[in-house]
Structures are given as C-alpha cells and as structure tokens.
C-alpha cells in the first residue's frame, strides 16, 4: 500500500495548494483514504498525532546529510556512493556501478517490489508529493520494472523547517519490586493470636476446640496460668492444617453451619466471618466442637 500511496500523492506539494503543512496533512489523508478502510484511517490519524514515524523520517534525513547531498539539489540519486541530481546522468552512473560496492540497506527502507536484487541499487532521496519527485520516481519505476535496477526510496527534505515538532507526552512510573523470593511453609502459622478465635481471651464464652475457657476460669481461678497454656496449645494445634479423612469431609459444611447457629446471637456474625475467612485452619475445630455437642446430646437423652 505504500507504493500505491506514493503513486497517488504526486500532487500533495504542487502549486494547486497553499504549501502549508495543514493543507498537506489533509491532502495526505484524502489520498490515503483511497486504499484504507475507515478503521485504518483512524489508526493513521492516531499514528500521525503521536509522531510514531518521526524518528524514521529524521533518520532518513540524517542519512541523506551524511552522503552528503550535491549542492543546490532539492532531490538526488545515490548509485553505489556516487550522487547526482541531474536527470540524464543516471545512465552514466549505472554503467560504472559494478565497480563500486553496494550500499547498506536498512530495515525501514522502501524497496520497489519489481526491483531486481542482482542489479545496481539506486537510492532516491526526495520529498514525496513534489513535482520533481514524481518525474524522477517515474524514471526509476520504469527501470525497476525492466529489471535494470533496485529502486529504494528515502524521504528527504532539502530545506527542512526550523520549527520544532511537538511530541505527545507520556507519564512514567518507576515501580521497584524485590525479586528475592524466600521459601516459607505456610501450613504452619506461628503465634497464638492468628486465626485463634474471634472472642477475647477474657470473654466468658471463650471456646477453643470445644473447651469453654471462660467457664473453666470461673470454676478454677487458681489454674489461670495452666488454662492459658492449655488454650495456647489448643490454638496452635487448631491452626495446623492436618489432613482429614473422607468421612470427616462428608458433613463438614453442615457441621460448620451448626457451629455458627450455636453461637450466641451477638457473636454469630463474628463466628461466621472467622470461619469463612480462615476456613482451611478451622475444619478440625468444627469437628471437635460437633463431636463434643453430639456426645452431650446422647448423654442427656
């Protein structure tokens, strides 16, 4: 599609227009719309607004400056290191081209599809859309289709504007992340306050694995320290994610629901929250609690 655009854009920079960048921009969009879908046209506008290819155009401009271009030439040929802007001198340069090494071609270079890679390379440095460009372009296309040359086009403006081009800005955030990973066994939870119980230690209905420590502290006030150690041991063993038997898993959902329903109304929501958020460490406690209460029912009956 690039070469279709080149063929259709021969009047972009002619005397028919005022020569401003604004008029050239709209003429480019008009020409491009002939071979692009509406979606592709929107992408083209977006790409132009971001100046996505400004770096490529500037690179070609710099390559042309390094040649360097012949004096007084708005465009010029480069044939294996020899340069000219005279229309009739191309044939002479082609005859001696085999005596000079071929130039290096870049990834972004535009090579005419019908070019013969075995033939001399002719690089045209010119501004697309000007009247002189189309005259030289037509000559090179004829020779490329005849298999005489490899035609390469590079964008070049002899007298570029000194006005600076505004580029779109981007916000940049520096995020620092530690790449050091430490192996940790998360099946063992240290500490007595993690996932232990939602009820305070001094609460009269404090219960861990079926033991009502609030009641036990009332009955045995002289064993406060021993009860605290027992509670600590039960809490740590409760947090262990021990494997369960198949039969223990069958009614686990009902046993968990029963544990919530059996809690005092003021604490039911807190118990449900604790069980749901820390469920992997709670099945053993639910099984112990249900076993204790089921046995009490049989004893009372």
Give per-residue pLDDT as tens, 227-250.
888 877 776 665 555 666 666 666
Calpha distance 99→79 (Å, rounded): 11
Q: Give the per-residue pLDDT at 151.
A: 92
pLDDT band at 203 (very low <50, low <70, confident <90, very high): very low
**Three-class DSSP category at 111:** strand
pLDDT band at 124 (very low <50, low <70, confident <90, very high): very high
Q: How many other CB atoms sit within 10 Å of the CB of residue 182?
A: 5
Calpha distance 109→8 (Å, rounded): 20
pLDDT band at 198 (very low <50, low <70, confident <90, very high): very low
**79: β partners:** 82, 122
Determine phi and psi for 152, rounding to 5 degrees.
Answer: -125, 135
Residue 219's alpha-carbon distances to 168, 204, 207, 216, 300, in angstroms, are: 77, 11, 15, 5, 22
DSSP labels, 11-75: TTTSTTS---HHHHHHHHHHHHTTTS-HHHHHHHHHHHHTTTTHHHHHHHHHHHHHSPPPTT-SS
Q: Give the per-residue pLDDT at 123.
A: 92
pLDDT band at 122 (very low <50, low <70, confident <90, very high): very high
In the predicted model, is pLDDT for residue 167 greater than 80?
Answer: no
pLDDT, mean of residues 100-120: 88
Calpha distance 235→127 (Å, rounded): 81
Residue 199's alpha-carbon distances to 42, 135, 188, 205, 264, in angstroms, are: 62, 91, 22, 8, 11
Q: Give the per-residue pLDDT at 244.
A: 65
pLDDT, mean of residues 136-146: 90
Q: Considering the chain, what percentage of its residues have pLDDT values greater than 90?
A: 5
pLDDT, mean of residues 91-114: 88
Residue showing tokens 């155009």: 57
Q: How many other CB atoms sit within 10 Å of the CB of residue 37?
A: 9
pLDDT band at 125 (very low <50, low <70, confident <90, very high): very high
In the predicted model, is pLDDT for residue 289 greater than 60?
Answer: no
pLDDT, mean of residues 120-139: 88
- H/E/C letters for each residue in 229-257? HHHHHHHHHHCCCCCCCHHHHHCHHHHHH
Calpha distance 239→192 (Å, rounded): 9
pLDDT band at 200 (very low <50, low <70, confident <90, very high): very low
In the predicted model, is pLDDT for residue 192 greater than 70?
Answer: no
pLDDT, mean of residues 212-229: 82
In the predicted model, is pLDDT for residue 116 greater than 60?
Answer: yes
CA angle 20, 129, 56 (to 5 degrees): 90
Residue 218 · residue 204 · CB < 8 Å: yes
Calpha distance 148→119 (Å, rounded): 6
Strand 121-126 vs strand 150-155: parallel, antiparallel, or unpaired? parallel
Q: Fill in the DSSP letter of residue 156.
A: -
More confident residue, 137 or 285: 137
């Amino acid at each position: 599609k690039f070469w279709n655009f080149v063929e259709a854009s021969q009047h972009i920079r002619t005397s028919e227009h005022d020569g401003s960048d604004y008029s050239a921009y709209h003429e480019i969009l008009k020409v491009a719309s002939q071979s692009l879908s509406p979606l592709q046209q929107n992408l083209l506008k977006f790409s132009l607004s971001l100046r996505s290819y400004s770096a490529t155009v500037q690179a070609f401009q710099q390559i042309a400056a390094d040649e360097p271009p012949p004096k007084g030439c708005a465009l010029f040929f480069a044939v294996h290191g020899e340069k000219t802007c005279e229309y009739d001198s191309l044939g002479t340069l082609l005859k001696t081209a085999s005596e000079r090494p071929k130039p290096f071609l870049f990834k972004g270079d535009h090579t005419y599809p019908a070019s013969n890679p075995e033939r001399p390379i002719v690089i045209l440095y010119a501004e697309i859309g000007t009247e002189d460009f189309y005259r030289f372009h037509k000559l090179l296309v004829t020779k490329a289709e005849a298999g005489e040359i490899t035609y390469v086009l590079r964008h070049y403006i002899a007298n570029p504007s000194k006005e600076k081009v505004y580029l779109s800005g981007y916000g940049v955030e520096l995020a620092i992340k530690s790449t050091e990973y430490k192996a940790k066994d998360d099946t063992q939870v240290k500490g007595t306050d993690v996932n232990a119980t939602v009820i305070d230690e001094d609460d009269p209905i404090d219960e861990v694995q079926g033991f009502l420590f609030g009641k036990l502290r009332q009955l045995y006030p002289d064993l406060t320290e021993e009860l605290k150690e027992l509670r600590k041991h039960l809490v740590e063993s409760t947090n262990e994610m021990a494997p369960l038997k198949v039969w223990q898993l069958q009614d686990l959902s009902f046993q968990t629901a029963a544990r919530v329903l059996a809690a005092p109304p003021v604490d039911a929501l807190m118990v449900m929250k604790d069980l749901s958020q820390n469920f992997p460490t709670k099945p053993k406690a639910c099984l112990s609690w249900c076993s204790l209460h089921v046995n009490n029912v049989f004893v009372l009956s």
